[in-house]
Amino acid sequence: MGDPIKQYLRQLERAYAAGNATEHTHRPALKALVESFAKNIVATNEPKREKCGAPDFIVCRAEEAIGYIECKDIGVSLDDIEKTDQIKRYRDGLDNLILTNYLEFRYYVNGEPEMQVMLARVQDKGKMRLFLGSDDMLRQLFEVFFSSRAQLICTPKELAARLANVAKVVRDAILLAFPLEEENGSLHGVFEAFRNTILPDITREQFADMYAQTICYGMFSARVNVPENEAD
């Protein structure tokens, strides 16, 4: 079996040389690469989740989510992307995140830059040139990514900040989901229930904020009430 990174770059080359590739074109190659780095790893791309503001890939081991990957097209400046509200929200709300344009990989832990690897660059005629030693560096990056554990929360202030950041991501996902759903959908149903029984004049923005907080508190409450012997 060939080297997964070289196979990955060959797939990028073929798609890039065709001249009509988009960011989505390269996702199958990235999925195969990520899953080649360790056993029992599954990288899932769900377009419906993306439209609602979720990262492009969720990475799981044995059905347990361990991290997320956000993709941009080849050639896009990650320096510019880092400054966007989208990435700021992801960095605030997600413990374990990779941002990539398929050739450069930036890894964040608890919102802070942890590792950065420039794997290759595009040469003339769409050829991908691998930088010396970058393949080993990328393997190391994903090894750390796969082994990362959520940061322990030790104070009420840290807990409040973490829940608030997660709630922001959920709120934005709710707002993006509204126009994508039919008016008789479940989200619209909950919104109308709020208006009919609690706050008749509530706006979608207010509802999204309130509902996101309710979801986050509900998850926190459920976790607190799990018996210690079942917590893992």
pLDDT digits (tens, 9 = 90+) for 104-132: 999 999 889 999 999 999 987 778 999 99
- Could you tell me which of 173, 5, 32, 22 has the C-alpha nearest to residue 101? 22
Whether 166 contacts 91, CB under 8 Å: no
Q: How many domains are contained in the chain?
A: 2
Q: How far apart are the C-alpha atoms of 185 and 191, rounded to whole Å?
A: 10
Q: For position 49, what pLDDT does the model report?
A: 65
**pLDDT under 70: residue ranges of the chain:** 1, 47-53, 150-154, 226-232
Is the domain of 30 the same as that of 118?
yes
Same domain, 100 and 118: yes
The domain containing residue 169 runs over which residues? 156-230
Q: Rounded distance, CA 140 to CA 37, Å?
A: 10
Question: Which pLDDT does position 151 carry in this prediction?
Answer: 57
Query: Which of 130, 147, 164 is at the close of a domain?
Result: 147
DSSP 58: E
CA distances to 23, 54, 129 from 174, rounded to whole Å, are 24, 11, 41
Amino acid making up residue 26: H
Of the candidates 90, 116, 86, 114, the residue with the CA atom closest to the CA atom of residue 103: 116
Q: What is the pLDDT of residue 43?
A: 95
